[in-house]
Amino acid sequence: MRKQANRSWILAVLVLGLGLVGPVLAQDGDILPSDVEDTSPAAAGPVNPVTGGDSGAGATAASSDDQEIAAPAGDQGTGAPASGRADAAPAADRQPRHAVKNQVSLSAATGTVKKITKTMIGEQIGQVAASFPTKYKRKGSFPYAKGTQNGNLGCANVVSAALRAAGIRIPIILGVDGVKSKLQQMGWKARRPPPFKPGDVIVWARRGKHKHIGIIARKGNALMAMNNSSSGRRPDWSSPTYRAVECVMRLE
Amino acid sequence: MNPLRASLPLLFGMALALAAPCFGAGFSLPYGAGEHQVGFVNETTAPDQELLNPLGPLSFRVVGGTCWVLDTVNGRLHHLAADGKPMATIALPARESADWQDFAVTVADGRPAAFYVLDGAEQQVLRLSATGEVQGTFGGLGEEPGKFVQVFRIEVDAAGNMYVADRGRQVVSVLSPAGKVLREIDWEWSGFCLDPSGNLCYLRWDEDAGVNHLVVETLAGKSVRSVPLAIGPHFNPDLWRVEANGETVVSFNLPEGAPNQMRIARCGADGKVIAGCPLTPPKVMNRFLDWDGATCYLGVADYGEAPKGTFAVEPFPWK
């Protein structure tokens, strides 16, 4: 009986895991016209730092880098927590039902649930960002939204698309300050680097008429910024210090 | 006025004049599109450009006391004599859009034998004769071996094998003189060089130990040595030079302080730091350091301020 209960639990977790991973994979690179936001978002109120959904007071409270994000509630109608962490967390720290994406990984072999930390989310954002220069290596292959002058002004477009591909529920935003303020609404913090960290959204200071924005990714002990190349009309790599840095936006 | 004090500036000037030959006098070129000028892009040249990144020469080499400057914007190579006077200009091949990132020059009998130039627009290596004719074109855009996504730096060994660092694919590709792929090495965006024996030198980060290792390998990939570099907390290391005695020069960013605060360090064969100092390279410049024998040269420029000032290559006597 006990063995059967364990099997049922593992099966439930597997189903839950597939449900979580599926939308993330399906979303990669998809940019729908209805998702495009041309101006800075004006919506007020706290927003979940990962999903962008309204999360209620306390969900965006500052925490240390490796503090675990409150484990999600089950998304299969069970209402059961996916780990013990949620039981212990104050109600205000719990994520809403929609806040499950990217916060649980599953080992099918052991049936165990591993909690995802904000550092791990940063690494994931960095990894997704790192895939863009090869994925969109051909000039003009990135699906730039209207209003970017065919990619000349595509930096915020590229960054918000990479964040979305990494599971951050953010609309496609075409302005640097729009991305910045949206992330701030979601509880991301503006920090002055160094240090730079993978997943940091780096904002470079105004030069000419515009600021510039990218995402930090790591390889070995090197940190490069994936950002849109206006002349190349594609995402590529730059040193984070190749122009003056205004700040980085960090999930913490 | 004390006559000794009055003569101090004169003495100082004389001392500088005497010391200059020891370090080499340096090289400079004014900004512009004319002969013996280097091109630049900034608010002056592109006042209506929406997104502006100041640009100028991205690379230089000092060879046999003379200096080669890659004039990225104007698409040419300038050659300056040891006394700083312009000697020659070689026009790079005209292309619809070119993005000249870096170059290498090989020398035979004291004269340039060939140039190898990286074009970041076409993701190609161009081998040019000493007078600038195209002798070979290698690479191209792609993710398969021998192709590139974002070419960054190039070195060429005595046999003419080409070593190309690709930021996009994160590899160093080794191509034979005919362009055949000989090897590809996983690369951590951390510079690379060839030592005097022609071995490939690169860095490998040990996450658990928090240490970068200098890795030295033969062309065939046989390990020569691996040494942990005791340069302390850092990020964005850039390996520039490994000497015959095993001494290694690496630049890096500090984890604290201003974002662009860099240091350069010389490590002994055992990996321990034996010299170091702060370093402020020009923003956007790709190859901002080079050596001619034991003399280190640093690119000095501010493309945002051009045409004020000059593009300069100055001795950097940090040791």
In-domain check, residue A92: yes
- CA B6 to chain centroid: 42
Answer yes or no: do A210 and A148 share one domain: yes
Answer yes or no: do A128 and A202 share one domain: yes
Could A194 and B212 be called an inter-chain contact, meaning their C-beta atoms sit closer than 8 Å? no
Can you list the positions of beta strands (E) in A6-115?
A: 36-37, 104-107, 112-115
Instruction: Tokens for B42, please give them.
Output: 């900034």
Answer yes or no: do A157 and A195 share one domain: yes
* H/E segment holding residue A24: helix A2-27
Could A237 and B189 be called an inter-chain contact, meaning their C-beta atoms sit closer than 8 Å? yes
| Confidence at residue A252, expressed as pLDDT on a 0 to 100 scale | 86
Answer yes or no: do A2 and A108 share one domain: yes
Answer yes or no: do A151 and A180 share one domain: yes
Answer yes or no: do A112 and A156 share one domain: no
Among residues B296, B210, B217, B319, which one has the least CA distance to residue B255?
Answer: B210
Could B54 and A207 be called an inter-chain contact, meaning their C-beta atoms sit closer than 8 Å? yes
Å between B236 CA and nearest CA of chain A: 4
Q: At which of A116, A144, A173 does a domain end?
A: A116
Could B149 and A220 be called an inter-chain contact, meaning their C-beta atoms sit closer than 8 Å? no
Could A149 and B284 be called an inter-chain contact, meaning their C-beta atoms sit closer than 8 Å? no
pLDDT, tens digit, 9 for 90 and up, residues B269-294: 999 999 999 999 998 999 999 999 99
Confidence of residue B233 (pLDDT cuts 50, 70, 90): very high
Å between B12 CA and nearest CA of chain A: 36
Range name among A125-134, A160-169, B121-130, B256-265 with the lowest pLDDT average = B256-265
Who among A149, A196, A237 is closest to B167 (CB)? Answer: A237
| Confidence at residue A86, expressed as pLDDT on a 0 to 100 scale | 29
Q: For residue B284, list chain A residues with Cβ-Cβ distance below 8 A.
A: 242-243
Count of CB contacts below 8 A, A vs B?
111
Q: What's the domain range around A228? A: 118-250
Query: Taking a C-beta distance cutoff of 8 angstroms, is the pair A152, B50 a contact?
Result: yes
A222 beta partners: A219
Confidence of residue A8 (pLDDT cuts 50, 70, 90): low
Answer yes or no: do A163 and A231 share one domain: yes
Answer yes or no: do A168 and A239 share one domain: yes
Task: State the residue for tokens 């090289």.
Answer: B27
In-domain check, residue A77: yes
C-alpha span between B281 and B56 (Å, rounded): 13
Which residue in B has a C-alpha nearest to residue A130's C-alpha?
B168
Answer yes or no: do A166 and A101 share one domain: no
Confidence of residue B78 (pLDDT cuts 50, 70, 90): very high
Cis bond upstream, residue B281 (ω within 30): no
CATH of the domain at A241: 3.90.1720.10
Query: Is A26 exposed, middle or buried, given 0-12, 13-18 or 19+ CB atoms closer than 10 A?
Result: exposed
Looking only at the bridges linking them, the beta strands covering B262-267 and B59-63 are: unpaired
| Confidence at residue B226, expressed as pLDDT on a 0 to 100 scale | 98
Question: What is the average per-residue pLDDT within B249-255?
Answer: 94
In-domain check, residue A53: no
Who among A134, A230, A245 is closest to B51 (CB)? Answer: A230
User: Measured between CB atoms, does A222 come within 8 Å of chain B?
Assistant: yes
C-alpha span between B248 and B309 (Å, rounded): 33
Mutate to test the interface with B, among A138, A221, A239, A246 (most CBs of B within 10 A): A221
Burial readout B66-95 (b: 16 or more C-beta within 10 A, e: otherwise): bbbbbbbbbbbbbbbebebeeebbbebeee
Question: What is the average per-residue pLDDT within B176-186?
Answer: 98
Question: What is the average per-residue pLDDT within A156-162?
Answer: 98
Distances (CA, A) of B110 to B69, B107, B113: 18, 6, 9
Could B204 and A137 be called an inter-chain contact, meaning their C-beta atoms sit closer than 8 Å? no
**Edge-to-edge order in the sheet of strand A210-219:** A189-191, A245-250, A201-207, A210-219, A222-229, A234-238
How many domains, in total, are found in chain A?
2
Answer yes or no: do A102 and A199 share one domain: no
* H/E segment holding residue A236: strand A234-238
Could B256 and A194 be called an inter-chain contact, meaning their C-beta atoms sit closer than 8 Å? yes
Answer yes or no: do A26 and A139 share one domain: no
Neighbours of A184 (CB within 10 A): 14
User: Measured between CB atoms, does A243 come within 8 Å of chain B?
Assistant: yes
Q: Is residue A64 over pLDDT 50?
A: no
| Confidence at residue A209, expressed as pLDDT on a 0 to 100 scale | 80
Provide the chain A residues 186-205 that lie in CB contact (below 8 A) with chain B.
Answer: 193-196
Neighbours of B31 (CB within 10 A): 24
Å between B17 CA and nearest CA of chain A: 35
Which residue in A has a C-alpha nearest to residue B303's C-alpha?
A243
Answer yes or no: do A5 and A102 share one domain: yes
Which residue in B has a C-alpha nearest to residue A233's C-alpha?
B121
